[in-house]
């Protein structure tokens, strides 16, 4: 069964690790030369994305991570590594935001379950509007 929480958690952790490696090692020592030349800046940004992809893929491969399995896709390790590198390269902030949204949703569900189970005094049941059916009755 697909587990989105495990997928986003693993991708957010790997994204943070890759981002830290690139920021603190490569950009600081080798790529920290901001240049006013637009062409050089574009090449620099492309190189940084390539480093994110490569490091993400290498980390995923070396750790035998299979995040696609969390989505119900059973693929070989190298396919997972390539996909993970791509996800990490372009979606670092996305994974953190999605993971936060999923965790908040689960927290809210747990609060509702706890309230319902304890029969909290003064708690009103949720009232849903009636369902309108546009289907003609069967003859």
Burial class of residue 67 (count of CB atoms within 10 Å of its CB; 0-12, 13-18, 19+): buried
The ranges assigned to domains in the chain are 4-104
What pLDDT score was predicted for residue 70? 81
Q: Is the dihedral of CA 19, 23, 24, 27 positive or negative?
A: positive
Mean pLDDT of 11-39: 72
Provide the pLDDT for residue 117: 75
Residue 138 has pLDDT above 60, yes or no: no
| pLDDT tens digits, one per residue of 51-109 | 888 888 888 888 888 888 888 788 888 888 888 888 887 776 666 677 677 778 888 88
Q: In this predicted structure, what is the pLDDT of residue 92?
A: 61
Reduced DSSP (H G I as helix, E B as strand, rest coil) percent helix, strand, coil of the chain, to 5: 70, 0, 30
């Amino acid at each position: 069964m697909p587990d989105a929480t495990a997928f986003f958690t693993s991708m957010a952790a790997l994204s943070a690790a890759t981002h830290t490696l690139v920021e603190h090692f490569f950009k600081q020592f080798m790529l920290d030369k901001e240049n006013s030349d637009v062409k050089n800046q574009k090449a620099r940004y492309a190189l940084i994305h390539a480093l994110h992809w490569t490091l993400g893929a290498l980390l995923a491969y070396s750790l035998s991570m299979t995040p696609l399995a969390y989505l119900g896709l059973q693929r070989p390790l190298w396919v997972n590594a390539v996909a993970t590198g791509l996800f990490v390269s372009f979606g670092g902030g996305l994974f953190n935001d999605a993971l936060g949204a999923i965790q908040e949703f689960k927290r809210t569900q747990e609060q509702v379950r706890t309230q319902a189970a304890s029969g909290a005094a003064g708690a009103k049941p949720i009232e849903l509007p009636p369902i309108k059916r546009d289907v003609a009755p069967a003859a």
